[in-house]
Amino acid sequence: MADSVVPLTFVKVLTPVVSAGDGAPAVLIHGWASGSMYWEPLAERLLDAGRDVWIPDLPGYHPGDTLPPGFPWTLDSAAASVAAAIELRSDSPVHLVGHSMGGSVSLTLAAARPELVATLTLVGMAPVPQNQGFKEVLRSQLDQGFFDPETVAKLMNAWYGELPAADMERLSTGFEVPFPVLSASATAAMTGVEPSVPGRVHAPLLVIAGTEDRVRPMEQMRSFVAESPQRALKAIPGAGHNVHWEQPEKCAAALIGFWKTSRPLPA
The per-residue pLDDT for range 195-209, each reduced to its tens digit, is 999 999 999 999 999
Task: Give me the pLDDT at residue 57, please.
Answer: 97
Task: Give me the pLDDT at residue 83, please.
Answer: 97
Task: Give me the pLDDT at residue 3, please.
Answer: 55
Task: Give me the pLDDT at residue 132, please.
Answer: 78
Task: Give me the pLDDT at residue 178, please.
Answer: 94
CA distance 172 to 165: 11
Question: How do beta strands 117-123 and 231-236 pair?
Answer: unpaired
Question: pLDDT tens digits for the chain (267 residues)?
Answer: 545 899 998 999 999 998 877 779 999 999 999 989 999 999 999 999 999 999 999 999 999 899 999 899 999 999 999 999 999 999 899 999 999 999 999 999 999 999 999 999 999 999 987 777 888 888 999 999 999 999 999 999 999 998 999 999 999 999 999 999 999 999 999 999 999 999 999 999 999 999 999 888 899 899 999 999 999 999 999 999 999 999 999 999 999 999 999 865 544
CA 21 vs CA 171, 202, 260: distances in Å = 33, 24, 11
Q: Is 100 left (phi over 0), alpha (psi -120 to 50) or beta?
A: left
Domains of the chain: 11-261 (3.40.50.1820)
DSSP string, 124-154: S--SSPPPHHHHHHHHHHHHHTS--HHHHHH
Q: Which residues contact 159 (CB under 8 A, 6 or more apart)?
A: 215, 240, 241, 242
